[in-house]
Chains A and B, each alone.
Chain A
């Protein structure tokens, strides 16, 4: 069963702690993306990766870091430097970055207390 998975669905952390959100896909897609969604706003791009071992900053990369060591995996670390980390985080993948539709995971809702 092909798809893109994110875990956990809900995550709670104390202020000042780093936290890593997982994203795995078995669609054999080259490109992967991380978005942040806040109430009443669209999806804002945090980081994206066009191919293994390569990634680029999106529009709101400050306070976040990523790695792309395997094609299937694109974990996102929310660091203590991110001033407002509480949000809904969505991971997506597409065959390439060129005008392909994006397939989204179910998302992780992060709450920092």
Chain B
């Protein structure tokens, strides 16, 4: 079945360093969404990308959707302790209505 793979699974960085997580789908996606889950919390929507090659920025966060609409990345510049959490990508494929989630990347930031 359709799979969305996300790497790395864990990342420890020093505060101020950059961080990137990558998402790859086995099939072409209609869209890609990114969510953040703080420790002990629930996923919260960050952003959605729909167009091939699309790039969106939210302050220190940069999101990209690949040209083939099968991969995506989230890059955080100059991490802060408030960035700690697990970042999930998720995508729709076709018209099933089902959102397929990657396994998530857990980010730890050392002050």
Contacts and interface: CB of A to CB of B under 8 A. Distances in A.
Interface residues of B, number: 25
A80 interface: no
Contacts of A85: none
B10 to A, nearest CB: 9
Nearest to A97: B97
A1 interface: no
B42 A42 contact: no
A107 to B, nearest CB: 5
Nearest to A45: B98
A40 B9 contact: yes
Given A40-B103, A42-B103, A99-B92, A104 B44 contact: yes
Contacts of A58: 98
B93 to A, nearest CB: 11
B30 A99 contact: yes
B94 to A, nearest CB: 11
A101 B6 contact: no
Given A59-B1, A98-B97, A101-B33, A41 B48 contact: no
A43 B98 contact: no
Interface in A69-113: 90, 92, 97-99, 101-107
Given A43-B43, A59-B1, 4 more contacts: A40-B103, A42-B101, A102-B45, A104-B44
13 contacts: A42-B104, A43-B101, A48-B97, A48-B98, A90-B42, A97-B97, A97-B98, A99-B92, A101-B45, A102-B33, A104-B43, A106-B42, A107-B42
